Amino acid sequence: MALKVEVVTAFPRKETVVTTELPEGSTVRDALLKARVKFDPGFLGVFGERATPDTKLADGDRIEVYRALKLDPKEARRRRAGR
């Protein structure tokens, strides 16, 4: 039985959604490779929950590739409050 999953990326000027089918027992890494998405292993999730490249997938999962923050949100608030 095949798994149908989505791979989602969102960057400042480009977002993509790729739907792909994989064999049962596939991992996040398998889906990202099949979707041809570059990724940093520290910035992955499945439905908003942190994931690793070795996380096993279930049918209907949405893999999210996050980007690194340029500035910690707490630090950004401190800087705005200091103005």
Which pLDDT score, from 0 to 100, does residue 81 have?
87
pLDDT at 83 over 80: no
* Strand 62-65 to 14-23 pairing: unpaired
What ranges do the domains of the chain cover?
2-82
For 22-62, write each residue's pLDDT tens digit: 999 999 999 999 999 887 777 899 999 999 999 999 999 99
If we measure between CA atoms, which residue out of 21, 47, 68 comes closest to residue 30?
A: 21
The structural architecture, per CATH, of the domain 2-82 is Roll (3.10)
Which pLDDT score, from 0 to 100, does residue 67 have?
81
Q: Is 37 exposed, middle or buried (0-12, 13-18, 19+ CB in 10 A)?
A: middle
Residue 66 makes CB contacts below 8 A (sequence gap 6+) with 43, 44, 45
DSSP-assigned letter for residue 54? T
